Amino acid sequence: MSELRFSWFRVVWVMSLLLVVADSQSTHPTEVTALQVIRQSFEDPDNSLRNWNRGDPCVSNWTGVLCFNTTLDDNYLHVRELQLLNLNLSGTLSPDLARLSYMEILDVMWNKIGGSIPKEISELANLRLLLLNGNQLTGSLPEELGHLPNLDRIQIDQNFISGPIPLSFANLNKTKHFHMNNNSLSGQIPPELSRLPELVHLLLDNNNLSGYLPPELSELPELLILQLDNNHFDGGIPPSYGNMVRLLKLSLRNCTLQGPIPNLSRIPKLAYIDLSNNNLNGSIPAMNLSNNITTIDLSRNRLTGTIPPSFSGLPNLQRLSLFNNSLSGTVSSNIWENRTFNSTEELTLDMKNNRLSGISGTINVPPNVTLSLQGNPACSNGSMADFCGSPSALVSHLQSTPSNSTDDCKPQSCPPPFEYAPGSPVPCFCAAPLLIGYRLKSPGFSDFPAYFYPFEVYLTSGLKIRHFQLDLTYEWEKGPRLRMYLKIFPVFAGNGTNIFNDSEVFRIRSLFTQWEIPDNENFGPYELIDFTLLGPYEDLIPTTTSSSGISKGAVAGIVVGAIVGAVLLSAFVSLYILRLNRNKYHAVSRKRHVSRASLKIEGVKSFTYEEMKHATNNFDAASEVGQGGYGKVYKGVFADGTIVAIKRAQEGSLQGEKEFLTEIELLSRLHHRNLVSLLGFCDEEGEQMLVYEFMSNGTLRDHLSVTEKYKESFSFATRLRIALASAKGILYLHTEANPPIFHRDIKATNILLDSRLIAKVADFGLSRLAPVADLEGIVPGHVSTVVKGTPGYLDPEYFLTHKLTDKSDVYSLGVVFLELLTGMHPITHGKNIVREVNIAYRSGMIFSVIDAKMGSYPSECVEKFVTLALKCCKEDTDERPSMVEVVRELENIWHMMPESDSRTNDSIDIEHGKNVSSQSSSSTTKNPYVSSDISGSDLVSGVVPTIAPR
Ligand SMILES: *[C@@H]1O[C@H](CO)[C@@H](O)[C@H](O)[C@H]1NC(C)=O
Ligand SMILES: *[C@@H]1O[C@H](CO)[C@@H](O)[C@H](O)[C@H]1NC(C)=O
Ligand SMILES: *[C@@H]1O[C@H](CO)[C@@H](O)[C@H](O)[C@H]1NC(C)=O
Ligand SMILES: *[C@@H]1O[C@H](CO)[C@@H](O)[C@H](O)[C@H]1NC(C)=O
Ligand SMILES: *[C@@H]1O[C@H](CO)[C@@H](O)[C@H](O)[C@H]1NC(C)=O
């Protein structure tokens, strides 16, 4: 299916290629050579630059090379932008970059590039954006960079750059943004920087800067953000900083600063002050702070005196942190009484560990306000108990837009990479969003909900899209920075198109990559972390930086191709759904007949209908423990007390007696500790029942959801153990069963847990019992083809091609792994777990989706487990690991577990990683739960449990 679409693309591609070649433009030879040299100095493990040897850079669309749309005076095309964001490149930056002499944007953000910044870059007279952040660059900043006459933005943050800030940077007359945080820059901040006429953001936090804070910085006429946290300065905060008329944010946390807090009353729009974790002393001046203030953090200093009355009634205040000081007096209730709160507004007042004696005014604190007074004399007063309790642990978790509008949409009709657009005015509009990793580097607030809507308005208006097209997820990160994951959906156009057209993709992308979305006072500067074109956008290559010079016909061709593709896709999907529905009515309904319980099958017992009836109290509803596609499942108790699970086929799942018995014979030969054992069957009175061992701890899903029944959540070690056990059970089905069995319906409700929490896979083999085609080749005459499986677990490849392979089980198991890791359901609110975790993974946010209920965990192991799970869920079957590889990797992860985690945190001390051998087939350890399950030794050792039914 997808191949069909891509070949369409290809046809169109080739057509347009011909059109372009007819145009005889080409890139300047110096730049062609330079690009080749630049490529050689990179290491490119993903081969992202594989087309950098084919044809002409500008004409043949080399990845990340964006050119001017027409030839310049010299009749050549020239490179205008190098956009190599997030391509996993390492190696170094070649000095030959300087030979792309018309270049305006150099973007290599979020790679692993090492070495130092070549001083030759300073020859790029047109360079506006120098974006090197998020690499492993070392060395010092070349003094020459200060001579870039047109530089608007220098982002070198999150590297290992050392040495001083060159004095020459004071010449960067046009530079607005200095983002140099998170490096190892040292020395004094040059007072000369105060000459920079355009500077708006000075971010130098997390370096080794020292010396005095230059008082001259107050002369920067445009400065909005001064962020210098986590450096080592001498002396205090220059009083002149109170004169920075445009300042919005002053952040000097943990800078070893001494002396008093300057009066900041004269800064009209100040929104955010963080002076915490210094050695500031004296009392807090009685400043009249701006009404725009959201955050005042003066905690962890040596402040004395009282809380100034001017901190009261600030209409936008979200956080006032004064903890760990020596403040005395009382907390005035005016702080919260003099303002009104709407439902999204919260105010946190953290006054812990001071010398405060109580609250003056009413003690009636509204629910939007959190006041903490622990560690103050006030707490000796019983009436303060509400504010003196142990602080509830703040758990950072992934937040997202409350958008349940897609709940009622059928997940299976919108498989990834498509998904339902949550805000779309057209219900269940299934479309392919653009996925963007984004971060606010220095927001002017502490609590996002109150700014959520304004942010959406800001971003959608900046992008010139409709408000409902945006869906976002966010999380606070160290800094504090606000990490987001944006999804931008196309608008329903009524013509079957559910993807963006190319020009729209490029338009949106370049607004982000060229920083054309205007800065906003509340939100501050943003970082672009990822904008990988995926799914239907994967083959699009941005070429020229403005509306391109290529023939309109070619563009139209591509758009037509895309539309045709999308129409074909949706036609295919709808046809497919039609077929699914039709098949429902083709289910085999067989006449019931009474048969003799015949045929002895070794190892399993043939039960009479009477026995079944007895054990289940005449199939009483109270004995029901589950319901599957095959029929109901009952808990059965035999007269001798043996407890079993009885699966009773429902009308429609019944099959010919011969097939039934053949199946049982097959199942009876399967024995593995991680498969639920078949104990017997009943084939009488037109009934078909299977008798299994009873799993007293229910399904894995029940435990992950933390219900009334299972309040205790599993530790990571337990989860890993369950994953390993499940994988082993399935591996056995794939490799030891003869013929091999593909489970086809692996899901968290088919993984059962016994009394010792050992995981066993259930419901295998039923694929053969159910009236479905055997997709391995043998198609039973009386059944039609049905894709069996459960939405959310279904291998997309199988869904599209009907070709079932062992990798389809790998996919479904991958989804179970993701559930183990995140606690999420495979599909919630129309969101697919695979997609959500992938997104988090790609934007480096995996820990935000990890199930907080599992408590602490070894992050390295969790990371590896997530990586494995996502690999299992790759769309391309060939990219998924085999089940053997899955088992092996899980065992590796188990071996990496710290002893304490794998032993003590786990209430049941079994199956230690150290004992689970990955290959040896002759494991003879005494622990009955340990052996190599790859070996198939279980076939021999598998014991058929004895039960004595009557
Ligand atoms: C380059 O991209 C343009 C626009 O996307 C397209 O029309 C053209 O065919 C591409 N050229 C090649 C050689 O792929
Ligand atoms: C910056 O501006 C100053 C004064 O306007 C000027 O003397 C200096 O040459 C300029 N520097 C650069 C690099 O353009
Ligand atoms: C304070 O800054 C120093 C470096 O200047 C750093 O090592 C330390 O971890 C920081 N402390 C906190 C609490 O961030
Ligand atoms: C700051 O406050 C003024 C008036 O108090 C208001 O008009 C303005 O919108 C506020 N700015 C921000 C960024 O909140
Ligand atoms: C080329 O780009 C410029 C802006 O750089 C734009 O004004 C012009 O319209 C574009 N030309 C074509 C043919 O697209």
Residues 6+ apart with CB under 8 A from 113: 42, 89, 90, 91, 92, 93, 132, 135, 136, 137
For a pLDDT cut of 90, what percent of the chain falls above it?
46
Give the per-residue pLDDT at 64: 93
237-275 pLDDT, tens per residue?
999 999 999 999 999 999 999 999 999 999 999 999 999
Q: Which H helix or E strand runs over 693?
A: strand 687-693
| pLDDT > 60? residue 454 | yes
Give the per-residue pLDDT at 788: 61
| pLDDT > 50? residue 926 | no
Q: Which atom of ligand 3 is nearest to the CA of 230?
A: 2
Q: Which of 254, 256, 478 to mutate to test the pocket of ligand 3 (most atoms within 8 A of CB)?
A: 254
- Which-ligand-closest: CA of 292? 4
Pocket of ligand 1 (CB under 6 A): 13, 16-17, 20, 55, 60-61, 541, 543, 550, 554
Q: How far apart are CA 911 and CA 889, in angstroms?
A: 16
Cβ proximity of 803 and 398 under 8 Å: no
Ligand 5 proximity of 546 Cβ (cutoff 6 Å): yes
Phi, psi of 256 (to 5 degrees): 50, 40
| pLDDT > 90? residue 703 | no
Closest residue (by CA) to atom 10 of ligand 4?
Answer: 292
Q: Which of 427-431, 515-519, 666-670 has the lowest mean pLDDT?
A: 666-670
Q: Highest mean pLDDT range out of 37-41, 552-556, 628-632, 713-717? A: 37-41
133-183 pLDDT, tens per residue?
999 999 999 999 999 999 999 999 999 999 999 999 999 999 999 999 999
Give the per-residue pLDDT at 766: 54
Positive or negative: CA dihedral 876, 879, 884, 889: negative
Q: What is the overall mean pLDDT for the chain? A: 80
Give the per-residue pLDDT at 399: 42
Give the per-residue pLDDT at 668: 80
Q: What is the mean predicted confidence (pLDDT) over 92-117?
A: 96
Q: What is the mean predicted confidence (pLDDT) over 525-533?
A: 90
Ligand 5 proximity of 380 Cβ (cutoff 6 Å): no
Fold of 86-379: 3.80.10
Give the per-residue pLDDT at 168: 96
Q: Closest by alpha carbon to 313, among 298, 333, 296, 327? A: 333
Active site residue 157: no
Give the per-residue pLDDT at 610: 86
Grade residue 313 by pLDDT with cuts at 50, 70 and 90.
confident
Any idea how long the chain is? 950
In the reported structure, the alpha carbon of residue 466 is separated from the centroid of ligand 4 by a whole-number distance in angstroms of 25
Q: How far apart are CA 798 and CA 806, in angstroms?
A: 11
Ligand 3 proximity of 230 Cβ (cutoff 6 Å): yes
- Which-ligand-closest: CA of 185? 3
- Which-ligand-closest: CA of 444? 4
| pLDDT > 70? residue 765 | no
Report whether the peptide linkage leading into residue 29 is cis, meaning its omega lies within 30 degrees of zero: no
Give the per-residue pLDDT at 262: 95
Give the per-residue pLDDT at 570: 42
Cβ proximity of 916 and 930 under 8 Å: yes
575-625 pLDDT, tens per residue?
333 333 333 222 222 223 333 334 567 778 888 888 888 888 888 888 888
Q: Which CATH superfamily is domain 700-767+781-923 in?
A: Transferase(Phosphotransferase) domain 1 (1.10.510.10)
Q: Can 86-379 and 413-547 be said to share one CATH topology?
A: no
Q: Which of 70, 72, 77, 551 to mutate to test the pocket of ligand 5 (most atoms within 8 A of CB)?
A: 70
In the reported structure, the alpha carbon of residue 75 is separated from the centroid of ligand 1 by a whole-number distance in angstroms of 20
Ligand 5 proximity of 551 Cβ (cutoff 6 Å): no
In the reported structure, the alpha carbon of residue 65 is separated from the centroid of ligand 1 by a whole-number distance in angstroms of 12
Give the per-residue pLDDT at 67: 94
293 vs 917, higher pLDDT: 293
Closest residue (by CA) to atom 5 of ligand 5?
Answer: 546
Structural domain spans, the chain = 86-379, 413-547, 700-767+781-923
| pLDDT > 60? residue 817 | yes
| pLDDT > 50? residue 773 | no
What Rg, from alpha-carbon coordinates, does the chain have? Answer: 33
Q: Which of 25-29, 314-318, 885-889, 938-942 has the lowest mean pLDDT?
A: 938-942
499 vs 795, higher pLDDT: 499
Residues 6+ apart with CB under 8 A from 26: 56, 58, 59, 76, 77
Q: What is the mean predicted confidence (pLDDT) over 289-310?
A: 95
| pLDDT > 90? residue 881 | yes
Cβ proximity of 49 and 31 under 8 Å: no
- Which-ligand-closest: CA of 546? 5
Ligand 3 proximity of 324 Cβ (cutoff 6 Å): no
Closest residue (by CA) to atom 2 of ligand 2?
Answer: 173
Closest residue (by CA) to atom 9 of ligand 5?
Answer: 547
Fold of 413-547: Alpha-Beta Plaits (3.30.70)
Of the residues 519, 745, 906, 938, which is catalytic?
745
90-102 pLDDT, tens per residue?
999 999 999 999 9
326-344 pLDDT, tens per residue?
999 999 999 998 888 888 8
Give the per-residue pLDDT at 599: 53
743-764 pLDDT, tens per residue?
888 889 889 998 888 899 987 7
Q: How far apart are CA 533 and CA 721, in angstroms?
A: 36
Give the per-residue pLDDT at 481: 93
In the reported structure, the alpha carbon of residue 526 is separated from the centroid of ligand 2 by a whole-number distance in angstroms of 28
Ligand 2 proximity of 173 Cβ (cutoff 6 Å): yes
Closest residue (by CA) to atom 4 of ligand 5?
Answer: 546
